[in-house]
Amino acid sequence: MKGWWAMTADQTGPVVRTPHGAVRGRYEKGIAVFRGIPYAAPPVGPLRFRPPEPPESWDGVREAGAFGPTAPKPPYSEAFAQYLADPEIPGDDCLNLNVWTPEPDPGARLPVLLWLHGGALTRGSSAVPVYDGSTFARDGVVCVSINYRLGIEGYGLFPDAPPNSGLRDQLAALRWVHEAIGAFGGDPGRITLCGQSAGAISAGALLAAPQARGLIRRAVLQSGPPEVFDRDKVRRMVRRMATRLRIPATAEAFAAVDRDLLLHTQAEVGRLSSPVLGGPAFGIVVDGDLVPGDPLQALIDGDAAPGVELLMGWTRDEYRLWLVPGGLLEHVDRLGPVSLAGAMARCRTGHEVPRGYRALHPNAGTAEIVGQMVTDHLLRIPLHRLADSRPGTCHLYEFAWPSGLPSLGACHALELGFVFDSGAIPASQKLAGEGAPPELCAAMHGAWVRFAATGDPGWEPWDASHPVRIFGDGGPYTAYGPRDAEFALWSPATTVPEPAPATDTDDRPPRTELTAAVRRLRRSVAARRR
């Protein structure tokens, strides 16, 4: 049967016809690879700060052998760049994607994994070497990775432009995959949406999006729960940038600013934010359209993604990637009571919660108590709540293998080289060090392959016994309720209400003793990052 998706091949590589034109990929070690395929028009000129538009169709065959341009982003600071690879590829046509497939045969109907990269919605791209999709294709899964708009251009909140442009880019890519992936050998009815950190948060928002219903069969949320940001928190980020630039806080005014200056200003303002300490930042917001409400609550209530199977989890020491670079771990330990006060404000708890963590972990330092409290509050407890609401359809994991580099432990993003079975490449070793056990890489990667193919990663689904698959030293095993004691410390009796949001004209939340402590800690941390 012939159609728009009909595949041909010539002497230089496989050719596939997509909805907008034919593309020629490359064969690499027996895998057909297509890079830099546009799924939307370049977001420049009148399309900057606007929802994505379809790309212009092209005649002939477009070469798809190299990664396309990455979205505009500031570089990582020196402290983080030593651990995280983040290539920058110049060009305006940044809304592009890549496909790895065993063979672009429309009759193959293979499972599909669509990867959303992390990076706090301000950094990262599909060109990061760790995200090499060839290992999934090698094992019978068509892998797709995408770029999407970041930072002020993807998640700025303005009175004269729609919000969540970066998330709308991701939806456009998901729709492209659903329509086009059959030509590459994929099954549009078996798409697993997979992301880490900001990519997982994005995947959670798309799971709950009415416009994405029916497009996602399964989802993997790595170190990121479904969540939305307070609109005032994002507005503060935009206003602070506007103040530094001496322009109105409008999309029209920002579009007229030199892009390099814009990215420099974004990085400077962002120094005051961190996952542990909070602060103004970019994030997904409720918009009444693509994000009609809190995605976590919609998924818990069963109003969104009915029947979608979930694989979710975290690393044992998430916080260490946020605190080890630049010596912040020791700094938080030295600040002692101020750090604990900051954690209480961040988590909106009374003294009972940190006291409970001290009792459960009597040998832990202040930074570990702070880090684990904040990780549980922001990440693990929401994922637990989601799993509890969907028994029998969720599988949970914890990555516990420690990095070979000093003090990092099983930190945030360390599992990525294991999921992609790319632990031996230099970009993975920047974070893991040398000696990542190949058998653990194979076990974790194999679990993701099985989940994408069947919905069963290889251990029992979530139920009242709280099974969690531990990927650590000595090989994977299943623990039952390994963090239940910590989670039991959190209750309405041990938390305080969230403060009322700031008004549009007020750049500061209500000042209390705890928020003052957070500000002192943020300023101290920011000074060390200079």
Which region among 53-62, 368-377, 437-446, 512-521 has the lowest average model confidence (pLDDT)? Answer: 512-521
- Residue partners of 481: CB distance under 8 A and separation at least 6: 465, 466, 468
What's the pLDDT band for 492 if we cut at 50, 70, 90?
A: confident
Within a domain: 6: no
What's the pLDDT band for 12 if we cut at 50, 70, 90?
A: confident
The pLDDT tens digits for 108-122 are 999 999 999 999 999
Q: Which residues are catalytic?
A: 197, 318, 412
Q: Considering only the C-alpha atoms of the chain, give the largest distance between any 2 of them, rounded to a whole number of Å.
A: 70
Within a domain: 177: yes
Domain that holds residue 30: 24-529
Higher-confidence residue: 396 or 1? 396
- The mean pLDDT of 413-421, rounded to a whole number, is 98
Alpha carbons 207 and 295: distance in angstroms, whole number: 8
Within a domain: 296: yes
Counted domains in the chain: 1
HEC assignment per residue over 43-75: CCHHHCCCCCCCCCCCCCEEECCCCCCCCCCCC
β-pair partners for 487: none
DSSP element (H, E) containing 471? strand 467-471
Whether residue 495 is predicted with pLDDT greater than 90 in this model: the reply is no
The pLDDT tens digits for 301-320 are 998 999 999 999 999 999 99
Of the chain, the percentage scoring pLDDT greater than 70 comes to: 91
- In sequence order, which ranges of 108-230 are alpha helices (DSSP H)? 134-138, 151-155, 165-180, 198-208
DSSP for residue 524: H
Of 404, 424, 411, give the one whose Cα is nearest residue 130.
424
CATH number at residue 69: 3.40.50.1820
Within a domain: 312: yes
Alpha carbons 263 and 284: distance in angstroms, whole number: 19
Strands (E), 316-433: 394-399
Per-residue pLDDT at 254: 97
Alpha carbons 125 and 135: distance in angstroms, whole number: 18
The pLDDT tens digits for 459-477 are 999 999 999 999 999 889 9
One-letter amino acid for residue 335 of the chain: L
User: Using an 8 Å Cβ cutoff, are 68 and 89 in contact?
Assistant: yes
Residue appearing with tokens 């341009």: 69
Strands 61-63 and 96-101: unpaired
What is the average pLDDT value for the chain, to the nearest integer? Answer: 91
DSSP element (H, E) containing 310? strand 309-315
Whether residue 49 is predicted with pLDDT greater than 60 in this model: the reply is yes
Within a domain: 455: yes
- The mean pLDDT of 212-224, rounded to a whole number, is 98
Per-residue pLDDT at 275: 78
- The mean pLDDT of 482-493, rounded to a whole number, is 91
Alpha carbons 507 and 503: distance in angstroms, whole number: 8
Within a domain: 3: no
Higher-confidence residue: 506 or 188? 188
Alpha carbons 54 and 32: distance in angstroms, whole number: 25
Whether residue 1 is predicted with pLDDT greater than 50 in this model: the reply is no
User: Using an 8 Å Cβ cutoff, are 158 and 80 in contact?
Assistant: no
Whether residue 529 is predicted with pLDDT greater than 80 in this model: the reply is no
Within a domain: 111: yes
User: Within a 10 A sphere around the Cβ of 381, how many other Cβ atoms?
Assistant: 17
- For residue 442, the SS3 value is helix
Whether residue 264 is predicted with pLDDT greater than 90 in this model: the reply is yes
Alpha carbons 64 and 503: distance in angstroms, whole number: 48
Per-residue pLDDT at 511: 41
Strands 21-24 and 61-63: parallel
Within a domain: 289: yes
Per-residue pLDDT at 328: 86
Token pair of 19 as six digits: 């909805």
